[in-house]
Amino acid sequence: MPTDPNNPLIIQGDRSILLDVHAPRAAEARAALIPFAELEKSPEHLHTYRITPLSLWNAASAGYVPSRIAETLESLARYPVPPSVTAWTVETMARFGKIRMVPESEDRLSLVAETAQIYRELAASKLMAKYLSPVGPSERRFTLALLDRGTVKQELLRLGWPVKDEAPLKEGAPLEVALRGETSSGKPFHVRDYQREAADAVVGDKGPGTGFGTIVLPCGAGKTVVGMTVLSLLKTDTLILTTNVAAVHQWIEELLDKTDLDPSMVGEYTGDSKTVLPVTVATYQILTWRPKKEGPFPHFSIFRERAWGLIVYDEVHLLPAPVFRVTAELQAVRRLGLTATLIREDGCEGDVFSLVGPKRYDVPWKDLEGQGWIASASCVEIRVDIGGEREIEYAVANQREKYRIASENPAKLPVVESLIARHADDHILVIGQYIKQLEEIAALTGAPIITGKTPNAERDRLYKAFRAGDIRVIVVSKVANFAIDLPDASVAIQVSGTFGSRQEEAQRLGRILRPKEREALFYTVVTSQTVEEDFAANRQKFLAEQGYEYSIIRWDEESV
């Protein structure tokens, strides 16, 4: 097929794809890539996508075939598509569907291999022997317990064999629920186009291969609305799992504000209250609590207390391992994962895809910023000297202590004080890792502090006062990284973090990305010529890949 120099895509032999965002058909290309390629970087001019085995198997599960992908790439390519990419796509996608999972009985499933060679490979696997009972080579079939459905899919994916799961999804208890046309306070409420597209991408027609998946949207883009939209489409009893009690309360407030659910239909399941109702919002912490280290998880019973038709995993990239295990059992239930980034520092992204569901929708952060749905932001790294006695202490410390000494550098305190004074008209979050450091900042500035020890009622009171404008500055530990909606926050000052975690950086930046008239500012204060500088470089790379302007300055009173 002839190529066009104005086309937006450059497909390379290493299976990466560059998207020229300034090309005439860039928006068309971005939409076309979502089903079968992973977005890796989205800086100002060229976005980088990559075709991976997982992305192709996800596409195959949604009904895509290699010829359709090849036609898409050829029609949008600026230069000829490397033949090796086309051939590899065909070979990789051919592995999907070679193993099928089908119903056997009420509590058993069958795993059917297409060829004798695949059957023998599975029969010879010591790992799979724990789960699979061979029926016989002539039938090329194994049986497995219904409860092992997710675990078997997970392990086979690691072996390079994606399973085509044809066992039906069960219907949950019906629930009449609809979105309002206006909020409870009378303000107009409309689901944005991209939120509706995301919900539709998961729900589909409710047939095989639909009804489960993960949505990736930036903080502040309204992932909660996507969850409520899916709930309104499926109209079924729903369990929502999230990161902390404050997030539980926010979900409940949003449900009562934007749906026609009566308060008597929405329950809270936390350390403070344990009410199971047609829509129940729970924390991961309560689910993973157990009285003895090796004992059972008593609160896992919530998964079976009602006929749930949908489970929503908020901040799915934080899904704890014990909840992964119970999720493996719940493959017959429709599942929705919501996240701002699928980066997991433990490398378990594949588990999210195989157990919760493949990525169904994402959108570059800067695209939503350009449309005004999230705030524009500038990122500034401020470097300070270590100086004095701490320089000697740092020199003789081990690697972990070096990071803490650099992070708790007292020279950061006047920087924080000065930044707060300079942004007198802004709502400011001071965010850090080390409690002693945060307590010193709170004492210096007179700002209230929220840590893991702050009672939930007090956290809610402070967040409410911050939203109302009664408090202008809050000092917060990592408990505020996730799922906290503070729409007026426009400045974040990060004084310490978790060893250069990209996941954490995305979440902390997200605290200030709610739409607002002014540009948001994200400051990171770093001790120069220390290991903290090296970890900051990892976070800096992540932000630059999302397209954010990132500047580095040396601190002095005139520098900001």
Q: Quote the pLDDT of residue 118.
A: 95
- Residue-range domains of the chain with CATH: 9-93 (no CATH), 99-165 (3.30.70.2610), 193-363 (3.40.50.300), 370-554 (3.40.50.300)
pLDDT band at 207 (very low <50, low <70, confident <90, very high): very low
pLDDT band at 507 (very low <50, low <70, confident <90, very high): low
Q: Quote the pLDDT of residue 318.
A: 76
Q: Quote the pLDDT of residue 73.
A: 96
Q: Which residue has the higher pLDDT, 389 or 225?
A: 225
* pLDDT, mean of residues 525-549: 77
* pLDDT, mean of residues 245-271: 93
Residue 205 pLDDT more than 70? Answer: no
Q: Quote the pLDDT of residue 348.
A: 62
pLDDT averaged over the chain?
Answer: 85
Residue 208 pLDDT more than 50? Answer: no
How many residues are listed for the chain in this entry? 560
Q: Quote the pLDDT of residue 319.
A: 79
User: Are 547 and 44 within 8 A, CB to CB?
Assistant: yes
Q: Quote the pLDDT of residue 360.
A: 82
Antiparallel, parallel or unpaired: β 238-242 and 9-11: unpaired
What DSSP line would sit under 353-397, residue for residue?
Answer: IIII--EEEE--HHHHHHTTSS--EEEEEEEE---HHHHHHHHHS
* pLDDT, mean of residues 6-26: 94
How do residues 44-77 score in pLDDT, each as one tens digit? 788 899 999 988 987 887 788 999 999 999 999 9
Q: Which of 515, 506, 487, 511 is nearest to 369 (CA)?
A: 515
Q: Quote the pLDDT of residue 60.
A: 87
How do residues 439-492 score in pLDDT, each as one tens digit? 999 999 999 999 888 888 898 899 889 888 899 999 998 776 655 666 678 888
Residue 176 contacts by C-beta under 8 Å, 6 or more apart in sequence?
235
What DSSP line would sit under 104-117, residue for residue?
Answer: -SSSEEEEEESSHH
User: Are 494 and 353 within 8 A, CB to CB?
Assistant: no
* pLDDT, mean of residues 142-169: 87
Q: pTM of the predicted model, to two decimals?
A: 0.75
* pLDDT, mean of residues 533-556: 75
Q: Quote the pLDDT of residue 482.
A: 58
* pLDDT, mean of residues 336-361: 74
The dihedral of CA 182, 183, 186, 190: what is its sign? Answer: negative
Give the separation between CA 546 and CA 513, rounded to whole angstroms: 13
* pLDDT, mean of residues 263-284: 93
How do residues 298-319 score in pLDDT, each as one tens digit? 888 888 888 999 999 998 877 7
How do residues 315-342 score in pLDDT, each as one tens digit? 887 777 778 778 877 887 899 999 877 6
Q: Quote the pLDDT of residue 260.
A: 94
Stretch among 53-62, 402-411, 423-432 having the lowest mean pLDDT? 53-62
Q: Quote the pLDDT of residue 320.
A: 78
Q: 131-139, long-range: CB within 8 Å, 24+ apart, which pairs?
A: 131/155, 135/110, 139/112
Give the separation between CA 80 and CA 83, rounded to whole angstroms: 9
Amino acid at 52: T
Q: Quote the pLDDT of residue 506.
A: 65
* pLDDT, mean of residues 234-247: 91
Q: Quote the pLDDT of residue 525.
A: 93
SS3 assignment, position 202: helix
SS3 assignment, position 18: strand
Q: Quote the pLDDT of residue 359.
A: 79
Amino acid at 88: W
Tokens of 186: 């009378």
The dihedral of CA 447, 449, 455, 460: what is its sign? Answer: positive
* pLDDT, mean of residues 391-415: 90
For a pLDDT cut of 70, what percent of the chain falls above it? 89
Q: Quote the pLDDT of residue 212.
A: 86
